């Protein structure tokens, strides 16, 4: 088995996997299982939590068979996010990676992203699959307020801030797309496994 099951207290385990796509696949396979309260993918992990004292039976076997199964049934969700690339960090990013601002935008738009996991804030999706040339560290001094809709990068990730929050990622642009609305039946626009493209306006 390529997965390692680690304890996370007495009502959860953290399953460690070789890569993000295995984590997304396992999370998708287990997310509707009644024995779990929450199924939370991370970058290379899936956290499985349950209610009550009883550990779900045959947990390791369940994980193994879920990993062995194919992709989940149903169409892959593809989402396009329109972006105005006028972010305050665009020039700095261009300088850091040794490209022109136009080339940074071209590469950010050309990449095909996958939602690896969510966190930080409701609806904040960590997107993998970006151009490796655009990997930049977080800002040394995070901003106290990043406006909602900011399209940003840090390390291997791209993301969109669902609402005004403090934040340390580098801002390339902005979108008017709503990322999180708790009144909707599907509150988060982006869920693990979704495919995402950015479209320059």
Partner 1 sequence: MNEVAVVRAGALTTFQDCGRPGFAHLGVPPSGAADPPAFRLANRIVGNAADAAVLEATLIGPALRFARPALVAVTGADAGATIAGHPLERGRAAEVPAGVVLELGGCREGVRAYISVRGGFAVDATLGSRSHDLLTGLGPPPLREGDLLHVGPEPARPPQRAEIVPARGEPTLFVVPGPRDDWFPSEALAALTETTWRVAAASNRIGMRLEGPALARLDRGELLSEGLVTGAIQVTSGGLPIVLGPDHPTTGGYPVIAVVVARDLPLAGQLAPGSSLRFAEYHAAPKPGNV
Between 99 and 177, name the residue whose CB sits nearer to partner 1.
Answer: 177
Closer Cβ to partner 1, 37 or 200, answer by number: 37
Q: Which residue has the tokens 């580098």?
A: 170
H helix runs in the chain, sequence order: 20-30, 59-68, 90-97, 101-110
Smallest gap from Cβ 119 to partner 1, in A, equals 3
Nearest distance from residue 157's CB to partner 1, in Å?
A: 9
Give the residue from 172, 171, 158 showing the smallest Cα distance to 102.
Answer: 172
DSSP β-ladder status, 170-174 and 195-200: unpaired
**Minimum distance, C-beta of residue 16 to partner 1, in the bound complex (Å):** 8
Q: How far is the CB of 146 from partner 1 (least distance, A)?
A: 15
Residue ranges in contact with partner 1 by CB under 8 A: 6-14, 27, 31, 37-47, 49, 51, 53, 57, 117-124, 126, 180, 182, 187-188, 191-192
* Comparison of 32 and 70: residue with beta carbon closer to partner 1: 32
CB 189, CB 121: distance < 8 Å = no
In angstroms, rounded to a whole number, what is the distance separating the alpha carbons of residues 67 and 145? 40
């Amino acid at each position: 088995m390529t997965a390692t099951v680690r304890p996370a207290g007495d009502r959860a385990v953290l399953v460690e996997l070789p890569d993000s796509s295995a984590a997304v696949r396992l999370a998708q396979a287990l997310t509707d299982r009644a024995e779990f309260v929450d199924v939370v993918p991370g970058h290379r992990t899936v956290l499985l939590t349950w209610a009550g004292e009883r550990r779900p039976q045959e947990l390791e076997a369940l994980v193994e068979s879920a990993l062995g199964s194919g992709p989940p049934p149903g169409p892959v969700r593809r989402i396009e996010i329109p972006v105005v690339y006028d972010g305050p960090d665009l020039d700095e990013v261009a300088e850091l990676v040794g490209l022109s601002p136009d080339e940074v935008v071209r590469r950010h738009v050309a990449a095909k992203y996958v939602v690896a996991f969510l966190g930080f804030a409701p609806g904040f999706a960590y997107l993998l699959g970006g151009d490796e040339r655009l990997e930049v560290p977080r800002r040394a001094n995070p901003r106290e307020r990043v406006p909602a809709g900011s399209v940003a990068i840090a390390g291997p990730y791209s993301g969109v801030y669902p609402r005004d929050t403090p934040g340390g990622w580098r801002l390339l642009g902005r979108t008017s797309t709503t990322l999180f609305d708790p009144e909707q039946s599907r509150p988060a626009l982006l869920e693990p496994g979704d495919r995402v493209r950015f479209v320059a306006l």
